[in-house]
Chains A and B, each alone.
Chain A
Amino acid sequence: MIEIENLSKSFTLHNQGGAVLEVMQGAGLTVAPGECVALIGNSGAGKSTLMRMIYGNYLAEVGHIRIGGVDVVGAEPREILKLRREVLGYVSQFLRVVPRVPTREVVAEPLLALGRERGEALARAEALLARLNIPERLWELSPTTFSGGEQQRVNIARGFVRDWPALLLDEPTASLDPTNREVVLKLIEEAKARGAAIIGIFHDAEARARVADREIDVSAFAPAAA
């Protein structure tokens, strides 16, 4: 489902004397449907960078990232938008939403963008929010005012509201209490069971051990010291 091949990345800091930071070289991995691969490595090893490149958020210059027939490297913005709409979900660590939009709308958004019927989309969003123990009285409020843990759960609900064929999870269990952590792990297991290909970053070793089928150490993709 996800195939990464010979992927390299550098940042050129034009406003700092044109310094070039090589951050990744020759990265490669594959994830099959129903499989969960955990990215590991020290902080700064490039786990998040790799995730962002897969999502098309960071521009990759060399290599291939093939997801469901689309090569993200060199793809038109339009193709990436379609990929994100239809194939590739992403639970980031940050919730970025228009202030004022009610939580259940935020969660239902991926379904609405897909053209799903509004009532159905909201019902699905509400079911997930309930499962993640977000009190119903908060559903009509904007998540911008929520606590970190609540925001994280809203973000997760948004990421799981539809059955993405491929899913990227960046620290999905961080800052969650045991009950909700358990819910999230269940959600991941369910996603795997229905055939989603998942790439995740889990600092929580126990969680990682439970859901990940394989671990890939990103440090191996570090560029050779110049």
Chain B
Amino acid sequence: MMKDDAQTPLLRVRGLTKTYGGRIGCADISFDLWPGEVLGVVGESGSGKSTLLGALAGHLAPDRGEVIFDTRAEGPRDTVTMSEPERRMLARTDWAFVHQNPRDGLRMNVSAGGNVGERLMAVGARHYGNIRATATDWLGRVEIDPARIDDRPQAFSGGMQQRLQIARNLVTGPRLVFMDEPTGGLDVSVQARLLDLLRGLVRDMGLSAIVVTHDLAVVRLLADRLMVMKSGRVVEAGLTDQVLDDPQHAYTQLLVSSVLQV
């Protein structure tokens, strides 16, 4: 699918702030995400990137700020102030969330097919044969042997579990995917395969994504744009390769120069 030249950002974030008591989780975050764009958010542990992702995805209630999503039906809506049922509906239709640990994003006691089918059933699919056919198709797309459709995720490797989580999330054709360290905890070779898969899916489905990671190699390959966070604030943002190759902020320079070259 061609990245379109939409006039409206898919997501507009303004002044998003989340504190824990007196401590800053993330502060005054503002950015636009356009259809088809992948935004990387990098920073070290505790920099607020996971808090930001949680606040964007509606898992954490922000103290201040707007998260305006361009909904299919009604155009731009602030998801912070919309009702919980609406937000949850969004979360299982137009949004997807890929957790770092597949155990947090999968039902471990439900078969692979059931895991993929759940979102379909949640939006009203009631034909077993169709649900199963869609699940089979998606297992193939994430390179899991469809013969394993009735196996539970416990029997899968870490990389397979992560791919299953991705299939489960993308089956309803979301437009915005939140990813929290999607390749964390995986072997390097498995990471590469997953990155390739994600890139292909993002391109073919025209997805927008926000990827939180501390791995600069991951964002270089996956993200169009980058935000660098430190102590809950964005210190630098721009084109991914520009930020990595010509970092302007002292912290980004330190971050980039700290990476071991291979």
Contact = CB atoms under 8 A, between A and B. Distances in A.
**Do A and B belong to a common assembly?**
yes
A101 B242 contact: no
Nearest to A101: B196
A96 B261 CA distance: 13
B250 A59 contact: no
A110 to B, nearest CB: 11
Nearest to A52: B245
Contact of B242 (A59, A98, A113): A59
Given A56-B242, A57-B242, A77 B253 contact: no
Interface in B1-24: 1-3, 5
Interface in A93-113: 96, 98-101, 112-113
A13 B103 CA distance: 43
Contacts of A112: 203
Contacts of B246: 11, 52, 57-59
B245 A58 contact: yes
A80 B225 CA distance: 11
B225 A77 contact: yes
B220 A15 contact: no
Contacts of B220: 96
B225 A85 contact: no
Nearest to B39: A77
A12 B249 CA distance: 9
Given A100-B193, A112-B203, A113-B203, A57 B241 contact: yes
Contacts of B199: 98
A78 B252 CA distance: 21
B249 A14 contact: yes
Nearest to B4: A115
Nearest to A18: B250
Interface string A66-108: 0000000000011011100100000000001011110000000
Nearest to B1: A115
A78 B33 CA distance: 9
Interface of B is mostly: helix
Most interface-central of B193, B241, B257 (chain A CB within 10 A): B241
A96 B248 CA distance: 23
Given A98-B221, A101-B196, A78 B34 contact: yes
A77 B250 contact: no
B31 to A, nearest CB: 10
Contacts of A81: 3, 37, 224-225, 239
A114 interface: yes
Interface in B232-260: 238-239, 241-242, 245-246, 248-250, 253-254, 257
Contacts of B249: 14
A12 B248 contact: yes
A98 B194 CA distance: 10
Nearest to B240: A77
B253 A13 contact: yes
Given A100-B192, A100-B196, A56 B203 contact: no
Nearest to A142: B192
Contacts of A11: 246
B29 interface: no
Contacts of A115: 1-3
Nearest to A96: B220
Interface in A2-30: 11-15
A-B pairs with the 9 shortest C-beta distances? A115-B2, A14-B250, A99-B192, A58-B246, A77-B239, A98-B196, A77-B225, A100-B192, A98-B221
Interface of A: 11-15, 52, 56-59, 77-78, 80-82, 85, 96, 98-101, 112-115
8 contacts: A57-B246, A59-B246, A81-B224, A85-B3, A96-B220, A98-B199, A112-B203, A115-B3
Interface of B: 1-3, 5, 34, 37, 189, 192-193, 195-196, 199, 203, 220-221, 224-225, 238-239, 241-242, 245-246, 248-250, 253-254, 257
Given A58-B242, A96-B220, A99-B192, 19 more contacts: A12-B248, A14-B253, A15-B250, A15-B257, A52-B246, A57-B239, A57-B245, A58-B245, A58-B246, A59-B248, A77-B225, A77-B238, A77-B242, A78-B34, A81-B224, A98-B221, A99-B189, A100-B192, A101-B196
